[in-house]
Structure 1
Amino acid sequence: MENYTKYKLKSSDELASVLDGKDNLFVIACNKCFKEFETVDEPDCDEFLKFAADQGKNVTGSAKFDFLCNKMHTERKLQDLIPEGTENVVVISCGLGIQTVADLAGKPVVAASNTLNYRGHHGMALTKKSCDACAQCYLNITGGVCPIVDCSKSLVNGQCGGAKNGKCEVDPNKDCAWEKIYQRLAKQGRLEEFLNQPVQVRDFSKVNFKVINDYVKSIREDRLDGYYGGVHPSERKEFSEHIALKKFPDPKTVVISMSQHLGAPANPIVQVGDTVKVGQKIGEAAGFISAPVHSSVSGTVVAVEPRMHGTRGSEVMAVVIESDGKNTLHESVQPHGELDNLTPDEIIDIIREAGIVGMGGAGFPTCVKLKPAKPVDTILLNGCECEPLLTADHRVLLEYADDIIFGLKAVLKTTGAEKGIIVIEDNKPDAIELMQKKVADIGNMEVFVAKTKYPQGAEKTLIKRVMGRIVPSGGLPADVGVVVDNISTVKAISDAIQTGMPLVERVATVTGEKIKNPGNFVIKIGTSVRELIDYCGGFTDDDVLVKMGGPMMGFPLNTLDVPMMKGSNGIIAVEPDETKEQPCIKCGRCVDVCPMELSPLYFVKYAKDENWQGMKDMNVMDCVECRCCQYICSSKIPIINSIKAGKNAVRGMK
């Protein structure tokens, strides 16, 4: 494939000129982007080091970075990197990277390369810096501030004289570029050097390119709003967001999996031929990280055997119950009294016995989450529902608001947290208005309206967005004093306390452009996906991809004969994506959108090489598998497959 190189090392004569009178150099090189990703290190740095040695220059050290223009990543990498005694920092990069280092290094920066525009390709760096790709870089002269793009008049020899109070006369909202240049040069002791420079003449015959700068400007604010990274996929919630909840008809048979949660599967405690009732325990928790399972219908157990699991793609032990249609309640389903009369430990016991797990998809046992090892001061209720298409949580907010408030009160009492914050994205104005009214007179609750962005609902991004706290690598929300719960989870807590009903049903969306009649339903756990699809009129045509969950993190289904589970917030039927995978071109988009600030392109490369230690060193275990990287990938690489393989390998390391 063609190599869309963004810069090239200056010629020997140019380098000799820019290095004249400069010594004690620290060299930083950017590994080129927009090229086939075959090598980790580019040769330019080594070429420069050889040239510097030939010139008798002292080099204090060197480093090679990916995506030098990514200020957040570069700032972290530069910490304590440049050794004492360094007088000049030499940067081999396009103009974006040079300007970024100039902002961060605190020392004079020398540009050892010229930025090119090769057939219109100039990268996708989402940085506040801009480069006109003029191929005649002025950054050496101006201290790393580009006069071509920062100055409204693109003056290269000094100010126009029209600035007032440090602001540009063309754009009063913009700082005068030349005042910034003078200030930086003065700080570096280089102002006299600049004033003695010969007049610069710009060669307009060399190509320049502005489209990418306009693109960067249009999306920059969204990229860094609230938390780093994230994407804005088409929401497509209009299919079902306006449709009120409907009780789904009782199925004739339910298949209730013993593995509907993170941790050990439950152990079946019923046998074929047993009669069971609604709310009766049919599976006992098998460990600390486990959860019991209950019958969602009354009837007869007809099988206890492995059945296909919707999210694992393999068979898992399940209890199959033929309903008698009576929905007879088990004797254990009894209200637990007033919340004020319950102790925190009693609430935990109720939650544990009700089999309540995280209903946003993760399925972590809630009784464990609500007894954190460290004190917490805040409960965040996740009502974002940032996955496209899904509207189940939206309807829960609108139709079970009082239950959510009750459940949040129970969680606050259990954890001892001082405040509860209900987080709702701004694409749900009706839910925001309703919940704000509900909490208006409750002193320790509030509603936080978050600007819509995916994956806002992930625990760590939600905490950073709302609280400004950063969960450490490998850490838990409790490490920063927070517990995050889904709004459907606290609704289930409310049911368990107020009615005694364990988690035997949930709200789920059936939607997508391939569903004839989308809707939101209250569905009994164990209901077949096939029954849901048939009830909604089936598919519009046979060319369809069905997922359990949303389009970003959902699980493709190879068969519709799988049951709905505690974490099944939706079934979607969409157009299949048959785009073929192409080689990585190192565009850096996956790095720009990763909310965990990782470098997903390396996970693919290292997985191919089975370099599991490399994946561990690059913090693959911090990945939340949101699929932002896979969504944005221009080469359509199934990055998540590599990440999952890496995680499994890392878990197996001694």
Structure 2
Amino acid sequence: MENYTKYKLKGNDELAALLADKDKLFVIACNKCFKEFETIDEPDCGEFEKIAAEHGKTITGSAKVDFLCNKTQTEKKLQDMIPEGTEHIFVISCGLGIQTVADGAKVPVYAASNTLNYTGHHGMALTKKRCDACAQCYLNITGGVCPIVDCSKSLVNGQCGGAKNGKCEVDPDKDCAWEKINSKLEKQGRLEEFLNQPVQLRDYSKVNFNVINEYVKSIREERFAGYYGGVHPSERKGFSEHIALERFPEPKTVVISMSQHLGAPANPIVQVGDTVKVGQKIAEAAGFISAPVHSSVSGTVVAIEPRLHATRGSEVMAVVIESDGKNTLYESVKPNKDLEDLTPDEIIEIVREAGIVGMGGAGFPTSVKLKPNKPIEAILLNGCECEPLLTADHRVLLEFADDIIYGLKAMIKTVDAQKGIIVIEDNKPDAVELMEAKIADCDNIEVVVAKTKYPQGAEKMLIKHIMGRQVPRGGLPADVGVVVSNISTVKAVSDAIQKGMPLIERVATITGEKIKKPGNYIVKIGTNVKELIDYCGGFTDDDVMVKMGGPMMGFALSDLNVPMMKGSNGIIAIDTDQTQEMSCIKCGRCVDVCPMELAPLYYAKLADEQKWQDMRDRDVMDCIECRSCEYICSSKIPLVSKIKAGKNAIREMK
């Protein structure tokens, strides 16, 4: 394919003039973008270093950097990259990369390359930096601040004199570019050098003013909203968001998996032939990171055997119960003491015995979260439901608001938090209005409305957006004074305390363009997925993909005879994916949208080559598998499946 990165090293005469009075140079080269991704070993800085050496210059070091114009990642790399004693930095990249380095470097930065004039993009990052591809770069003269794009009048010989209080007279919201240039040159001790420069004459025949189009301009404003990266997939929540909850009919048989949570599977404590009741414990937690399991129906245990697990694709132990249709409650299902009379330890024990786990999909035992052993400032209640199509949490917010507030108060008391924050995305205005009214008299609970963006509901993204804190690598939310919980999870905590009811049912959305009658249902744990789909009228046609969960992080189901579990927030039926995988073109979009600030394109290549240690070295274990990279990939590479393969291989490494 054509190499679309339009810059090249300056000519020998121009470089000689540029190098004349400079020494102790560090060289940075961009690995280029929008080119065929053939090898990780991209061209290096050698050609420039050779020219510099011929002129007797000392090179303090060099570095190749992926997507140099990615400001967030480049600034981090610059902190430890430049050796002490470096006096000048030379950059080989397009204008965007040069400006980005100039912003973050503490020594003068110079362009060793020319950005060529053409119609199209420079750089992959949706950065605030721009390059108009004028083919007569001024960055070496102006300290890395571009007068063409940063100055509203594109003046190249100094300021016009019309700035007021540092702001442009043409655009009062914009800083005067020439005041920034003068300030930067003065700090670098280069102002006199600039003032002695000859008058710059601009060749307008080379100018292309519309290099970066309006789409990129609008996306820039959203890219850093709350946290780095993220995407805006089509929401498609209109299928079901307006439909009130309906209780799904009593299933004749339930298959209750022993692995519905993170950690060790629960151990069955019933036998075939036993009679059980609603809310009765049928399996004990098998360790600290585990959770007990309860019967969702009254009836008879007819089997204890391996059954297909929806999200693992393999068989795991399950208890099969034939319902008697009576819904007889177990004797222990009764209200606990008032919240005011319960101690934190008593609340934790109630939550643990109720088998409550994270119901947003992760399935982490909630009782463990409630014993952080660190000071907690806030409980963040995740009501974002950022996955497209799903509306279960939205309906829980609307129909169980009082229970949510009760459960949140219980969690605040348990961890001795200063406050609770209910976070709801701005695509749910009815839920925002209701919850704000409900907490009007609560001094320590607030509602925060977040601009809709995926994957906002991920713990680390939510904490970064709302609290402005970064969970350390390998750390937990408690490390930054936060506990995060899901809307449905907190409702389950309320049920456990107020009713004594363990986690035996949940709200789930059955939706998608291929479902005849979408809806939101209260479903008993262990209910068969096929029965749910049949109740909703089945599929509109046979060309369908079914997932448990949402379209981004959900699990494709090859067999519909699997049970609903504690973390099953929805079943979606959507169009099959007919796209074919193509070769990576190194467009860098996956890097631009990764909320964990990783480089997914390398994981795909390294996984294909089975270079597991290299994947580990590139922090693949930090990936949250949100599929933002896969969603944006122009080559439709199944990045997450390759990432999962790498993670599994790394876990097996000694």
Taking structure 1 as the reference length, what is the TM-score of the superposition?
0.97
Is the counterpart of residue 328 in structure 1 residue 328 in structure 2? yes
CA-atom RMSD in angstroms: 1.6
Q: What letter corresponds to residue 403 of structure 2 in structure 1?
A: D
What is the 5 A alignment of 1:199-348?
A: 199-206=199-206, 208=208, 210-348=210-348
Distance 2:463 2:44 in 1: 41
Is the counterpart of residue 419 in structure 1 residue 419 in structure 2? yes
Distance 1:120 1:416 in 2: 55
Residue in 2 aligned with 1:616? 616
- Identity level (%): 81
* Farther off after superposition, 614-623 or 470-479: 614-623
Residue in 1 aligned with 2:467? 467
Structure 2 SS opposite 1:523: strand
Structure 1 SS opposite 2:331: coil
Structure 2 SS opposite 1:142: coil
Question: Residue 413 of structure 1: CA displacement?
Answer: 1.8
Task: Rate the CA distance shift 1:165–1:372 in 2: closer, same or farther, 3 A.
Answer: closer
Question: Residue 132 of structure 1: CA displacement?
Answer: 1.0
Structure 2 SS opposite 1:375: coil
Question: Residue 211 of structure 1: CA displacement?
Answer: 4.4
Structure 1 SS opposite 2:206: coil
Q: What letter corresponds to residue 549 of structure 2 in structure 1?
A: G
Distance 1:325 1:461 in 2: 44
Task: Rate the CA distance shift 1:577–1:204 in 2: closer, same or farther, 3 A.
Answer: farther
Q: Is the 8 A contact 1:9 1:44 kept in 2?
A: no
What is the 5 A alignment of 1:11-160?
A: 11-116=11-116, 120-160=120-160
Distance 1:161 1:298 in 2: 83
Distance 1:127 1:272 in 2: 63
Residue in 2 aligned with 1:523? 523
The CA deviation string for residues 371-390 of structure 1, in whole angstroms up to 9 with x for no partner, is 11322121111111111111
Structure 2 SS opposite 1:560: coil
Distance 2:140 2:42 in 1: 22
Distance 1:619 1:201 in 2: 48
Q: Is the 8 A contact 2:67 2:124 kept in 1?
A: no
* Farther off after superposition, 231-240 or 42-51: 42-51
What is the 5 A alignment of 1:213-612?
A: 213-612=213-612
Q: What letter corresponds to residue 15 of structure 2 in structure 1?
A: L
Distance 1:203 1:37 in 2: 35
Q: Is the 8 A contact 1:120 1:209 kept in 2?
A: no
Structure 2 SS opposite 1:509: strand
Q: Is the 8 A contact 1:306 1:316 kept in 2?
A: yes
Distance 1:146 1:458 in 2: 37
Task: Rate the CA distance shift 1:652–1:374 in 2: closer, same or farther, 3 A.
Answer: farther
Structure 1 segments of 4+ aligned residues over 6 angstroms from their partners:
none
Structure 2 SS opposite 1:463: helix
Distance 1:215 1:578 in 2: 27
Question: Residue 268 of structure 1: CA displacement?
Answer: 1.8
Residue in 1 aligned with 2:645? 645
Question: Residue 178 of structure 1: CA displacement?
Answer: 2.3
Structure 1 SS opposite 2:318: strand
The CA deviation string for residues 183-204 of structure 1, in whole angstroms up to 9 with x for no partner, is 2222222222223333333334
Distance 2:272 2:83 in 1: 73
Q: What letter corresponds to residue 73 of structure 2 in structure 1?
A: H
Distance 1:522 1:412 in 2: 27
Q: What letter corresponds to residue 248 of structure 1 in structure 2?
A: F
Q: Is the 8 A contact 1:6 1:123 kept in 2?
A: no
Distance 2:159 2:416 in 1: 60
Question: Residue 136 of structure 1: CA displacement?
Answer: 2.3
Q: What letter corresponds to residue 279 of structure 2 in structure 1?
A: G
Distance 2:497 2:316 in 1: 30
Distance 1:67 1:539 in 2: 44
Question: Residue 118 of structure 1: CA displacement?
Answer: 5.6
The CA deviation string for residues 336-382 of structure 1, in whole angstroms up to 9 with x for no partner, is 12122222111111111111100000001111111113221211111
Q: Is the 8 A contact 2:279 2:296 kept in 1?
A: yes
The CA deviation string for residues 437-488 of structure 1, in whole angstroms up to 9 with x for no partner, is 1111111111111111111111111111111111100000111111111111
Question: Residue 158 of structure 1: CA displacement?
Answer: 2.9
* Farther off after superposition, 96-105 or 272-281: 272-281
The CA deviation string for residues 222-264 of structure 1, in whole angstroms up to 9 with x for no partner, is 1111111111111111111111100111111111111111111
Q: What letter corresponds to residue 399 of structure 2 in structure 1?
A: E
Residue in 2 aligned with 1:3? 3
Distance 1:253 1:211 in 2: 62
Q: What letter corresponds to residue 295 of structure 1 in structure 2?
A: S
Question: Residue 117 of structure 1: CA displacement?
Answer: 5.1
Structure 2 SS opposite 1:141: coil
Distance 1:188 1:544 in 2: 62
Structure 2 SS opposite 1:319: strand
Q: What letter corresponds to residue 212 of structure 1 in structure 2?
A: I
How many residues are matched?
A: 654
Gapped regions of structure 1 (runs ≥ 5): none
The CA deviation string for residues 381-411 of structure 1, in whole angstroms up to 9 with x for no partner, is 1111111111100110111111111111111
Structure 2 SS opposite 1:139: coil
Q: What letter corresponds to residue 260 of structure 1 in structure 2?
A: Q
Question: Residue 213 of structure 1: CA displacement?
Answer: 4.9
* Farther off after superposition, 128-137 or 246-255: 128-137
Distance 1:653 1:477 in 2: 27
Distance 1:211 1:509 in 2: 44
* Farther off after superposition, 415-424 or 5-14: 5-14
The CA deviation string for residues 277-300 of structure 1, in whole angstroms up to 9 with x for no partner, is 111111221111111111111112
Distance 2:29 2:488 in 1: 49
Q: Is the 8 A contact 1:6 1:33 kept in 2?
A: no
The CA deviation string for residues 519-573 of structure 1, in whole angstroms up to 9 with x for no partner, is 0000011111111111111111111111100011000110111111000000111
Distance 1:47 1:647 in 2: 38
* Farther off after superposition, 283-292 or 474-483: 283-292
* Farther off after superposition, 77-86 or 554-563: 77-86
Distance 1:167 1:209 in 2: 23
Is the counterpart of residue 169 in structure 1 residue 187 in structure 2? no
Distance 1:213 1:24 in 2: 39
The CA deviation string for residues 117-163 of structure 1, in whole angstroms up to 9 with x for no partner, is 56635343211110012232211111111122112222323334443
Distance 2:615 2:471 in 1: 20
Question: Residue 166 of structure 1: CA displacement?
Answer: 3.2
The CA deviation string for residues 615-647 of structure 1, in whole angstroms up to 9 with x for no partner, is 222222211111111111111111111211222
Question: Residue 207 of structure 1: CA displacement?
Answer: 6.2
Distance 1:392 1:555 in 2: 17
Distance 2:179 2:353 in 1: 68
Question: Residue 584 of structure 1: CA displacement?
Answer: 1.3
Q: Is the 8 A contact 1:31 1:40 kept in 2?
A: no
Q: What letter corresponds to residue 635 of structure 1 in structure 2?
A: S
Q: Is the 8 A contact 2:548 2:557 kept in 1?
A: yes
Distance 2:619 2:33 in 1: 22
Q: What letter corresponds to residue 35 of structure 1 in structure 2?
A: K
* Farther off after superposition, 547-556 or 417-426: 417-426
Distance 1:81 1:479 in 2: 28
Distance 1:341 1:44 in 2: 68
